[in-house]
Structure 1
Amino acid sequence: MPKINGNEIRPGTIVEHDGGLWASVKVNHVKPGKGGAFAQVELKNLRDGRKLNERFRSEDKVEQVELEMKDQQFLYETDGRLVFMDNETYEQIELDAELLGDRRPFLQDGMTVSVQYFGDEPLNVTIPQKVTCKVVETEPVQNGQTASKSYKPAVLDNGVRIMVPPFINVDEMIIVHTELMEYSERA
């Protein structure tokens, strides 16, 4: 694994530190009046989700880790575990459903996702940035509610509540931005 200087850490960099795999969440470069500059880095453990704040000076060496991305198909969920299948080898893996957090409802049967691997160990799941959903419940349009930035609440077929523009009606298909958890466009 390549070693990088402590001041080369950027958000999203994955490093091996204190015997674990950590993803840098936030990086703040500090240059105090006295002493040398350093990077104040917020790290998140990829295996158990713990967070850690660490200072890295420019002369500190850190091992950077490259994770392998594999596209896999979501099959089903059982007992809080998500089952995915590799499309090339047909091998199946199980991951904890809590990995996706509040984006879990957007995972649909047969959906292709990216699974990040460290060697043979699956660590994280990334679902597509935009997903098509059906509106199952929303309020009818009210007269005079034509302002460009007015929104109304809606419930999607996966149970998620989001705000949609007033022209969206029940049974319409919309595209939802999964990271922001908000309406993107009509499908």
Structure 2
Amino acid sequence: MISTSDFRTGITIEIDGNVWQVVDFQHVKPGKGAAFVRTKMKNVRSGAVVERTFNPGEKLARAHIERREMQFLYESDGEFNFMDNENFEQIAVAADQLGDAPKYLKENMDIGIMFFQGTIIGVDLPFAVELAVVETDPGIRGDTATGGTKPAKMETGCVVRVPLFINVGDVLRIDTRSGDYLERA
């Protein structure tokens, strides 16, 4: 059990059978009335973000999430196969359990997989991945007075807006949190 007075960013708690991660919290002591703890929490399974208030000192069940480093092997029939880096055990994960992660997964890539009570609840991707451009329109000099962008299809199938000077075959760093182009690799 954890008290709401001990909330910190990143702590995971269990409420009504769902696992929530504290994104933001604030201890509020208004001039009139009782103090309270205002939190912003993210559902680890669905990604939904909610705001909720608690009484100070209220006890909640702490959710112990296990993170294991695994290597992505291959995708087959909508299932993504991973191998545990410690015991070499292989598991298959359905695409709907991975959220947006399949857009950035390359073979032999190491990622963190989160488990709660033995079931997979999500993945921890690195903040940026390096992907090669497989399809994009050629940039024409003088196309725009200010910096313009064009769509580029990456080797994993995701489409990213990139500057006009990017060509087919270029390797780019892509932010996995927002899906934005960062830089050439």
Identity %: 39
**Structure 1 pair 116/80, CA: closer, same or farther in 2 (3 Å)?**
same
1:113 maps to 2:111: yes
**Structure 1 unaligned spans of 5+:** none
Q: Distance in 2 between matches of 1:169 and 1:35?
A: 62
* Distance in 2, Cα, partners of 1:33 & 1:165: 52
Greater mean deviation of Cα atoms: 161-170 or 119-128: 119-128
Distance in 2, Cα, partners of 1:27 & 1:147 = 44
Q: CA deviation at 1:185?
A: 1.3
2:104, 2:156 within 8 Å by CA — same for their partners in 1?
yes
Task: Confirm or deny that 1:100 pairs with 2:98.
Answer: yes
Q: 1:9 to 1:147 in 2, by over 3 A?
A: farther
Contact 2:73 2:108 in 1 (8 A): yes
Matches within 5 A, 1:11-160: 11-27=9-25, 29-47=27-45, 53-145=51-143, 149-160=147-158
Q: TM-score of the superposition, structure 1-length normalised?
A: 0.80
Measure the CA separation in 1 of the matches of 2:46 and 2:184: 38
C-alpha deviations, 1:123-166, integer Å up to 9, x for none? 22112222121212223222324766432222222222211122
What's the CA shift for 1:114? 0.4
TM-score (norm 2): 0.81
Count of matched residue positions in the alignment of Structure 1 and Structure 2: 185
